Amino acid sequence: MRPESASPESGPPEPALLEVTDLHGGYGSARVLHGLSFRVGKGETHALLGRNGMGKTTTVRTLMGLNAARSGRILFDGQDITKLSPEAVVARGLAVVPEGRQVFPNLSVEEHLIAFHLKRHGNHWTPGRVYELFPRLHERRHHGGQQLSGGEQQMLAIGRALITNPKLLILDEATEGLAPLMREEVWRCLTLLRESGQSILVIDKYVRRLMTLADQHTILERGQVVWQGNSAQLEADKTAWEYLSV
C-alpha cells in the first residue's frame, strides 16, 4: 500500500535525523509492521498517528531496539542502528517516554534524574533544568515514584528522558490517562521543547491538539504507512480522517 500525501513543496528536503526504510517487524511469529518508511527531520516535531492496534507502539519498540527488525533499515543521524541493542540506541541519542510511564516506585524523583543523567557535547539537560521545566517535580523531588500522581509520573518520565540529553525524544501515548490540566501541562512542555529545536516523535490520540504542534504527520493502518503530510494537508484530507476514525 502506497502512502497518500499532497504534492511535496519545492526545494530540497531538510536533512533527516531519523530515516526509516521498508521496516518489517513484530512479536515472535506475529508480523505487525509491513514495510514502514518515514523520516523525521532535525528540529522537527513528527506525529505518528493511527487507531489502536495499528503498529505505533511496535514501531517505537523497534526503533529503540526492544523488538528486532525482521528487515528494513533504521538510520539515525546518518548511522545504521537497525541491529543495535537498546543500550546502544540510547547511547546514540534516542530517548523514549514509554506508554504507561514505567517509573520506578522506590526511587525518588531526584534519584531518577541522577541515575539517568547522561552528559553529551552541546546538550545541557540537568536536574535543575528539568525542575525549571516542571516546577512541580522540584516540589516533589524527595517523593518516590509510587507517591506521584499519574500526571506527575508523566512529568518525571519526560524529565528522565530529557536528562539523557537526547537528539530525538520519542513519546508513546504522551497524554494517555491524564486529567485535562495535566494534559495541558504536557502540551506546554512539548511546545517549549519544539521551540527550543528539540526533535520529537510523538504518539497521542488527541489529533486536533497534535495538529497545532507537529510539523509532519504519518498515519499507520495495519502496520503500513497510508498517509503522510503536514497539519494543513491533514485538515483538508477527508481520506486521512477515515483512517483515524473509531
Q: What is the pLDDT of residues 9-25, one digit of tens each?
A: 545 566 799 999 999 99
- Rounded Cα–Cα distance for residues 157 and 161 (Å): 6
Domain coverage including residue 109: 99-165
Has residue 105 got a pLDDT over 50? Answer: yes
114 and 19, same structural domain? no
Q: Which three cell numbers stand for residue 32?
A: 505487525
pLDDT at 10: 45
Residue 191 belongs to some domain of the structure: yes
Amino acid (one-letter) located at 192: L
Does residue 152 register a pLDDT over 70? Answer: yes
Distance CA 174, CA 165 (A): 19
The answer on 159 and 52 residing in a single domain is no
Are 161 and 171 in a shared domain? no
When the pLDDT of each residue in the chain is averaged and rounded to a whole number, the result is 93
In this predicted structure, the answer to whether residue 2 has a pLDDT above a threshold of 70 is no
Dihedral angle computed from the Cα positions of residues 87, 88, 90 and 92, in that order, rounded to the nearest 10 degrees? 170
pLDDT tens string 165-192: 999 999 999 999 999 999 999 999 999 9
What pLDDT shows up at residue 125?
Answer: 93
- Same domain? 78 vs 135: no
What value does the mean pLDDT take over residues 109-138? 90
* Beta-sheet strands, E only, within the chain: 16-27, 30-41, 45-49, 69-76, 79-80, 94-97, 168-171, 199-202, 216-221, 224-229
Sign of CA dihedral 53, 194, 37, 245: positive
User: 239 and 171 in one domain?
Assistant: yes
Judged against a pLDDT cut of 90, whether residue 121 lies above it is answered with: no
Residue 8: what pLDDT?
47
Burial class (CB in 10 A: 0-12, 13-18, 19+), 94: buried
Domain-ending residue, one of 134, 165, 196: 165
pTM assigned to the model: 0.92
189-238 pLDDT, tens digit per residue, is: 999 999 999 999 999 999 999 999 999 999 999 999 999 999 999 999 99
* 6 occurs within a structural domain: no
Query: At which of 144, 165, 186 does a domain end?
Result: 165
142 has a pLDDT exceeding 60: yes
Q: Are residues 204 and 187 in the same domain?
A: yes
